[in-house]
Amino acid sequence: MGYAKISVTIPREIYEGIKDISLKNDVKLSHLVTEALSDKLRRIKEDALINQINRIYDDPEVSEEQRVMAESIADNMDVEEMPW
C-alpha cells in the first residue's frame, strides 16, 4: 500500500485529545488518524449500501414481488400444524 501526506486543519481540542491518546497508548498519531478515517469511510460506505437497499425495497413492484414469492413458498410447504 502506498502512502500520501496530507495537511488538515482541525480544532485544537481534537488535536490535543488524539495527541494525548497516541502518547498514552504508544501509537503513532498518523496511525490513530488513519484508523479513525478508515472507520468513518467504512461507515459512510455501509450507510450508502443500506440506503440503496432501502430504496430498492421501497419500490412497490419489488414489495409486491416479495409478497407473492413469500405466499408461494408458504403455500408449497408441507407443514403440519402443531396440536397446541
What's at 81, amino acid-wise?
E
Classify each residue of 20-56 as buried b or exposed e, where b means 16 or more C-beta atoms within 10 Å of its C-beta: eebeeeeeeeeeeeeeeeeeeeeeeeeeeeeeeeeee
pLDDT value at 82 more than 70: no
Tens of pLDDT, residue by residue over 19-36, are: 999 999 999 999 999 999
pLDDT (tens digit, 9 = 90+) per residue, 38-67? 999 999 999 999 999 888 778 888 788 888
pTM over 0.85: no
**pLDDT value for 60:** 83
Cα 78 to chain centroid distance, Å, stands at 38
In 3-state terms, the chain is what percent helix, strand and coil (to 5)?
A: 70, 0, 30
